[in-house]
Amino acid sequence: MDRIWTVKEKKIQLPARDSLLFFAAWGGFLLFVWPRMFFATPEGIYAGERAIWGDWAGHLAGSAVFAFRPLSLWFVNHPLFYGQTYNYPFASSMISGLLMRSGVDRISAMILPSIVISLLLLLILYVFYLSILKSGRQACVAATLFFMSGGLGFIYYIQDILQTASLKTLLFPMREYTFLEDKGIFFRNVFPAELLPQRSFLIGLPVGLLLLWVLMRWLSTGQEKPSAFKFFAVGIPAGILMIIHTHTYMAIVILCLCLTLSNMKSCRQMLVFALGAGLVSLWLYTTLHGQSMPSRWFGWEWGWMSNNQRAGIFPLIKFWLMNWGLMLPLAVWGTFQIRYFRHPMVIGGWILFMLCNIIRFQPWNWDNSKLLTWSYLLLIIPVVGVLSYLWRDNRRTFKGIAIVLGGALIFSGGLELMRLVQSSQTTQRMWDASKIDMASNFQKILQPGETVLTDADHLNWVSSLAGGQILMGYRGWLWSYGIDYSEREKEIRLMYSGKTDAEMLFDKYHVRYAVFSPSARSDFGGNELLFMLKYKMIMKDSDTRVYDVRSSRKIN
């Protein structure tokens, strides 16, 4: 039986006009949105989307490691937890950090790589879909469905319109209709959930797609296969995915297994590919993780986030209809009716979907969304097959059904993109000008190997802006990384108390400076009066003061 995914089955037709319109529209969207997601004014640094506000402080802390620290200290400590190896996928942070090190300002160092990689993703995603669907128009539709992902949350948008009946509510959606926790909707549109805030995912996705595209071309043609050396060489970047984006690495492992099983004649070549990937990833894992991988990283969990609602098969079906809308029923139809069950990428998409409903791949179960995004991307293939089948029918009724189905698939995601375009209404300040100035001055006096006692707020200017090594960062991030911070939290509380034992802990953790912020005072009960009497204050602004805790002690 011929494989449905062989290149020779259908000649690729590339309608230039449709493709140019596609690239112009989505490229223009990316160029418009990105500069508004993270920017600086004389008043401070701002985020144009809540996920950027929530995540990019951590990404900046990672980038600051490569920007301000000597090479010998790059991987010694996690930027958000002293004593833990820097084992978080760091490729995106390294790119931005090295740009800052070369003189690029932090805003440009974060935004410019994001723009370039987003445009590359646009091209690679199109080429990936084109290689499978063999139609430029269908590839454009598939990529658009991915970028405008969403479920049935638009139902609540219609309800809001009927209740408020205002032009403002119509033009600027009042809620995130792909993320409504109280309605059981958690699979947020790919832009605000993944591509904008999660810089590792943004790099990992195009790299993973490019690797799959290369392997599919090599395995599906009737021509002589490339040499074993080429398969081994392509395995190297697959292994490097471990430091680019871990979830993409997991997805590629599963999808490459599907490719191998669908073409057993190429098993030897794929084993050579796996050898190249395995050697690199094993070295990276043992070097960066060692024995630090927490035992609770993986676990059994039925139905992804549906357990937050009600257990059972029918609540699960309702949950996925609300989160993915018509995607799943159309994908089922296309998989069997158009015989896409023979395509390894579609098989892999279903496997990823099922695994994410059984296994928790990280301490925070919502992080399964990164693998589910891969599943969504792949299951779009049979969905486009269904829409194309309906559209090709000469009857107007079928064309109308295709339009209605396509509209339902992109309605909720389109509402999210409307909010992104109008980001001025959702902009939040991350740091004011005084914190930026303080960070700049603080960075000049920090010495390699010195640590800083700070609060655990996620907008920590010491780690994010000054590049200082802090003892413990934001608890929510540390928990999601599987880091047990309970003992460290007690020690920080003791250090802030200023009691006698605090001096021993200062020496233990090489603490040079203590930062008293509003959060340090309220969260850790800092005794600032004692610090004021005992240590020298070296800088301050309206609500924060920094003390040199070695100023009254002997320095070794």
Residue 456 resides in a domain? yes
Inter-residue contact 451 to 471 (CB < 8 Å): yes
Q: Which secondary structure element, helix H or strand E, spans residue 49, and what is its range? A: none
Neighbours of 395 (CB within 10 A): 9
pLDDT at 349: 97
Same domain, 367 and 493: no
Percentages (nearest 5) of helix, strand, coil residues in the chain: 65, 10, 25
Inter-residue contact 313 to 177 (CB < 8 Å): no
**Is-above-0.85 flag for pTM?**
yes
Same domain, 467 and 419: no
| Rounded Cα–Cα distance for residues 410 and 330 (Å) | 14
Inter-residue contact 89 to 79 (CB < 8 Å): no
Banded pLDDT at 398 (limits 50, 70, 90): very high
Same domain, 34 and 117: yes
pLDDT at 314: 87
Same domain, 316 and 439: no
Separation of CA 258 from chain center: 24
Residue 465 resides in a domain? yes
Residue 276 resides in a domain? yes
What lies within 8 Å, CB to CB, of 523 at 6+ separation is 455, 456, 457
pLDDT at 443: 94
Share of the chain above pLDDT 90, in %: 78
pLDDT at 365: 86
pLDDT at 476: 93
Same domain, 500 and 481: yes
CATH code of the domain containing 472? 3.40.50
Domain range for 479 is 430-548
Same domain, 414 and 538: no
> pLDDT tens across 530-549, in order?
999 999 999 999 999 999 99
Residue 493 resides in a domain? yes
Q: Which secondary structure element, helix H or strand E, spans residue 498, and what is its range? A: none
pLDDT at 222: 60
> pLDDT tens across 342-396, in order?
999 999 999 999 999 999 888 888 899 999 999 999 999 999 999 999 999 888 9
Comparing 8-17, 62-71, 298-307, 309-318, which segment has the lowest mean pLDDT? 8-17
Token pair for 493:
């509380």
Count of domains observed in the chain: 2
Q: Is the pLDDT of residue 202 over 70?
A: yes
Token pair for 442:
């603080």
Among the candidates 424, 459, 479, a domain finishes at 424
Token pair for 5:
């995914």
Share of the chain above pLDDT 70, in %: 93
- Residue tagged 């033009």 (tokens): 171
**What value does the mean pLDDT of the chain take?**
91
| Rounded Cα–Cα distance for residues 158 and 133 (Å) | 34
DSSP 151-172: -STHHHHHHHHHHH--HHHHHS
Same domain, 252 and 325: yes
SS3 state of residue 475: helix
Same domain, 48 and 161: yes
| Rounded Cα–Cα distance for residues 556 and 550 (Å) | 10
Among the candidates 376, 400, 424, a domain finishes at 424
Inter-residue contact 58 to 473 (CB < 8 Å): yes
Banded pLDDT at 7 (limits 50, 70, 90): very low
Kindly state the average pLDDT of the residues 13-25: 80
DSSP 314-328: HHHHHHHHHHHTTHH
Rounded to 10 degrees, what is the CA torsion of 236, 237, 243, 245? -140
Residue 556 resides in a domain? no
First to last CA, the chain: 75
Same domain, 353 and 461: no
Angle, CA of 357, 359 and 364, to the nearest 5°:
100
> pLDDT tens across 512-523, in order?
999 999 999 999
pLDDT at 266: 84
Banded pLDDT at 220 (limits 50, 70, 90): confident
Residue 534 resides in a domain? yes
Q: Which secondary structure element, helix H or strand E, spans residue 218, and what is its range? A: helix 199-220
> pLDDT tens across 417-449, in order?
999 999 999 999 999 999 999 999 999 999 999
Backbone angles phi, psi at 47, to 5 degrees: -115, 135
Q: Is the pLDDT of residue 311 over 80?
A: no
Phi-psi region of 499 (alpha: psi -120 to 50; beta: other; left: phi over 0): beta
Banded pLDDT at 8 (limits 50, 70, 90): very low
pLDDT at 289: 67
Kindly state the average pLDDT of the residues 257-284: 92
Neighbours of 86 (CB within 10 A): 18
pLDDT at 556: 47
Same domain, 404 and 532: no
| Rounded Cα–Cα distance for residues 414 and 132 (Å) | 25
Residue 554 resides in a domain? no
> pLDDT tens across 173-189, in order?
989 999 999 999 999 99
Token pair for 477:
């991030």
> pLDDT tens across 90-108, in order?
999 999 999 999 999 999 9
Inter-residue contact 318 to 278 (CB < 8 Å): no
| Rounded Cα–Cα distance for residues 283 and 425 (Å) | 46
Q: Is the pLDDT of residue 294 over 60?
A: no
CA distances from residue 192 to 147, 170, 198, 414 in whole angstroms, order as listed = 10, 20, 9, 12
Among the candidates 424, 446, 480, a domain finishes at 424
The burial of 224, by beta-carbon neighbours within 10 Å (0-12 exposed, 13-18 middle, 19 or more buried), is given as: exposed
Q: Is the pLDDT of residue 14 over 70?
A: no
Same domain, 97 and 185: yes
SS3 state of residue 217: helix
Same domain, 436 and 414: no
CA distances from residue 546 to 64, 119, 155, 550 in whole angstroms, order as listed = 20, 42, 51, 12
Kindly state the average pLDDT of the residues 476-490: 92
Token pair for 129:
């879909």
Kindly state the average pLDDT of the residues 141-152: 97
| Rounded Cα–Cα distance for residues 412 and 183 (Å) | 14
Kindly state the average pLDDT of the residues 507-513: 96
